Chains A and B, each alone.
Chain A
Amino acid sequence: MRLLGLGIFALIIAVLPILFPENYYITVVGVTMFFNVILAVGLNLFMGYAGQISLGHAAFFGLGAYASAILTTKFGWNPWAAMGAGIILVWLISYLVAKPILRLKGHYLAMATLGFGIIIHIFLVQYDTLTGGPDGLSSIPELSIFGWPINTDLRWYAVSAVVMLLSILFSLNIVASKHGRALKAVHGSEVAAEMMGIDTSKVKVHIFVISAIMASITGSLFAHEQAFVSPDSCSFFFSIELVTMVVLGGMASTFGAVFGAAILTYLPEFLVVFQDFKVLIFGGILMFIMIFLPEGLFVGLCKFVSHFKQGGRQCLPS
């Protein structure tokens, strides 16, 4: 019952490419959406559930992507080993960063994470002997699983879908455990959480590191899928976009994050027909959603539906 939503979602994802194997919006944009979902689901654990904020999450995505790109192109590493190195690097960096900055709250935490994101971005732009500077790095080798190269859109679709479904499953699992309740408790009342024996600073650091690692893995996959990385793909604006995905779908809801990521991936694609007005309409839609469904699209709609159901029941004669 708990995993019903995930099952339905998995089914839809499995059926779509069979029905439309050549559709650009499914096999190409789909992969981008899956990557965004992983990032949003990870960030949602930190923002939605634990009630913190990170405006620098794209930095971990970038670090993962660049670790893979640099180690495979410049040092000839095996892509999987490079991805592993990226994970360890991000693990260390996120842990070291989290320790001091997660003492901060609200706007201060937002500022600190923002600063961190910008520092990483500047580093990637400036340290051009290693990172290729603003031009980025290209001809990143393809990824293969036991000699099965992931070299077509459909294969990437399958691989990224599996990783995404796993990330959703893990997120749902965390939420439905004492660790998930600890996250929500930190959000609800930090002092009460402490009094219930929860080491709140440790909880915050842990979940920050976990969501950073999820971002790093996504970054590595992205680097191999695109065969190209540049600082643009992990800029401040991407961090903001990730935050928007989480807020738009609905905080503290794993499927809310999925929903938010899906909308933010597809909406710009469909608005291309409006050409110059694209950004304007995009912003308008986001504003409209946040004004009329401030709890987020997914959470808001869920509440609306359950409210409607309850209302219907109350109308029945008792």
Chain B
Amino acid sequence: MSSLLVVSGLEKAYGGVKAVNNVTFEVKERTIFSVIGPNGAGKTTLFNLLTGIDKPNSGSILFKGKELVGLPPFKIASQGISRTFQNLQIFFNMSVIENVMVGCHRLGKTSMISAIFRLPSTLKEEKFMETKAKEALKFCGMEGLQDKMADSLPYGQLKKLEIARALASEPELVLLDEPAAGLNDTETVELSNLIKKIVENGITVLLVEHNMGLVMDISDDVMVLNYGQLLAKGPPSQIQKDPKVIAAYLGEE
């Protein structure tokens, strides 16, 4: 199994605070790689660096062998990386299916001129995107909700909507930022099954999550961050026994 994502020596400082400090890791294809750590450990900063929302001070991010550092977010997205957000970033001014169809944006090739005159190429593309979006909604168990306005959905459904939107862009790597936050137990089990299904479909998942049960249950690899530094890395069974990890979470004696 080859590595899809290779991150080396990644650093990001906000003033004197090093939010991400010399972090190096690899994510193998078709696996679930989880990033855990106490609040303020730099997990979301790491996601923002990977997706180009923030620029690192140094280090490199290779995706399929291609350097991502310095690219704007939309170009990184067009390489086949998609993400969800910890604080929801739903397009509340659109219907559910439109939200997901925005996910298909990068798959569309038609020009504005074609859209203005609604040429056959645009009509064909609209059909394609609609089908694609419906598939993604079905995959996430949201069929039947497509014509609702996004702002009328409950929180749990919005979380799933973000995943559906991310999947609609046919990514190779999906970054899920705390997908289980705020979900009840039933919804968390559903989510866990959904993430497993995503990987079965050949997509690699990078997960930031506080729900340890979920992380230990589904991850292939776990990386622990603390104060921006890499504390430990390995399969879940090994991480659970690591004294440094236990100390970071529970405090030392």
Interface residues of A (CB under 8 A from B): 170, 173-174, 176-182, 184-185, 187-189, 191-200, 206, 210, 252
What are 24 A-B contacts with C-beta separation under 8 Å?
A174-B112, A174-B116, A177-B115, A177-B118, A178-B115, A179-B112, A179-B115, A180-B115, A181-B98, A182-B105, A184-B94, A184-B98, A185-B105, A188-B93, A188-B94, A189-B89, A191-B73, A192-B89, A192-B90, A193-B102, A195-B77, A196-B82, A196-B169, A197-B74
Task: State whether the Cβ of B101 lies closer than 8 Å to any Cβ in chain A.
Answer: yes
How far is the CB of B79 from the nearest CB of chain A, in Å?
9
From B126, B165, B169, A177 is in contact (CB under 8 Å) with B126
Q: Footprint of A on B, CB under 8 Å?
A: 51-53, 72-74, 77-78, 82-83, 85, 89-94, 98, 101-106, 108, 110, 112, 114-118, 122, 125-126, 129, 165, 169
- With A178-B125, A188-B91, A197-B77 known, 18 other A-B pairs at CB within 8 A are A173-B115, A173-B118, A177-B122, A177-B125, A177-B126, A178-B110, A178-B126, A182-B102, A184-B93, A187-B91, A187-B93, A188-B92, A191-B85, A192-B85, A195-B73, A196-B105, A196-B165, A197-B106
Determine the residue in chain B with the shortest Cβ distance to A192: B89
Q: Given the complex of chains A and B, what is the CA–CA distance between A182 and B90 in angstroms? A: 13
Contact A181 B105 (CB under 8 A): yes
A196 touches which of B53, B92, B103, B112 (Cβ 8 Å): B103
Roughly how many angstroms separate A206 CA and B114 CA in the complex, as a whole number?
14
A177 to B129, CA, bound (A): 10
Residues of A within 8 A of B92 (CB): 188
Max count, chain A CB within 10 A of own CB: residue among B94, B105, B165: B105
A198 touches B98 (CB 8 A): no
* A196–B106 CB distance below 8 A: yes
Cβ-defined partner of A170 (8 Å) among B102, B116, B165: B116
When the two chains form the complex, which single residue of A173, A174, A176, A185 contacts B102, counting CB atoms closer than 8 Å? A185
Q: Tell me if A178 and B104 are in contact (CB < 8 A).
A: yes
CA distance A185 to B92 in the complex (A): 9
Q: How far is B73's CA from A177's CA once the two chains are assembled, in angstroms? A: 22
B103, A189: Cβ atoms under 8 Å? no
What DSSP secondary structure best describes chain A's contact surface?
helix
Residue in A176, A178, A188, A197 whose beta carbon sits within 8 Å of that of B90 in the complex: A188
B101 smallest CB distance to A (angstroms): 6
In the bound complex, residues from chain A placing their C-beta under 8 Å from that of B101 are 178, 181
State in angstroms the CA–CA spacing of A229 and B171 once bound together: 54
Instruction: For the complex of A and B, list the 6 residue pairs with the smallest distance between their C-beta atoms, beginning with the closest.
Output: A188-B91, A197-B106, A177-B115, A192-B89, A194-B73, A197-B77
**Which residues of B have CB within 8 Å of A174?**
112, 115-116
Which residues of chain B are within 8 angstroms of A198 by Cβ–Cβ distance?
74, 102, 105
A174-B111 Cα distance, complex, nearest whole Å: 10
Given the complex, which residues of A lie within 8 Å of B105, measured CB to CB? 178, 181-182, 185, 196-198
| A40 vs B214: C-alpha distance when bound (angstroms) | 52
Judging by beta carbons under 8 Å apart, are A184 and B91 in contact?
Answer: yes
A252 to B94, CA, bound (A): 11
Q: How far is the CB of B171 from chain A (nearest CB, A)?
A: 10
Contacts of B112 in A (CB 8 A): 174, 179, 206, 210
Q: How far is the CB of B153 from chain A (nearest CB, A)?
A: 14
A180 vs B91: C-alpha distance when bound (angstroms): 13
Q: How far is the CB of A155 from chain B (nearest CB, A)?
A: 26
Closest beta carbon of chain A to B38's beta carbon, Å = 25
Which one, B73, B103, B117, contacts A173 given CB within 8 A? B117
Measured CB to CB, the nearest residue on chain B to A187 is B93
Contact of B91 among A173, A192, A197 (CB under 8 A): A192
Given contacts A185-B102, A189-B91, A206-B112, contact A178 B129 (CB under 8 A): yes
Residue of B nearest to A197 (CB): B106
* A199 to B106 alpha-carbon distance, docked (Å): 10
* Chain A residues, CB < 8 A from B114: 177
Task: Please give, as numbers and ranges, the residues of chain B lying within 8 Å of A191 by CB-CB distance.
Answer: 53, 73, 85, 89
**Cβ–Cβ < 8 Å partners of A194 in chain B:** 52-53, 72-74, 77
Alpha-carbon distance between A210 and B72 when the two chains are bound, in angstroms: 25
Please report the C-alpha to C-alpha distance between residue A189 and residue B125 in the assembled complex, in whole angstroms.
23
Q: Contacts A191-B53, A194-B77, A196-B165; is A177 near B110 (CB within 8 Å)?
A: yes
> Which residue of chain B is the closest to A173 with respect to CB atoms?
B118
- With the chains together, A31 CA to B15 CA distance in Å? 60
**What B residues does A185 contact at CB under 8 A?**
91, 94, 102, 105
Min CB gap A165→B, angstroms = 14
| Cβ–Cβ contact A195 & B82, under 8 A | yes
Q: Which residues in B have their C-beta under 8 angstroms from that of A195?
A: 51, 53, 73-74, 77, 82-83, 89
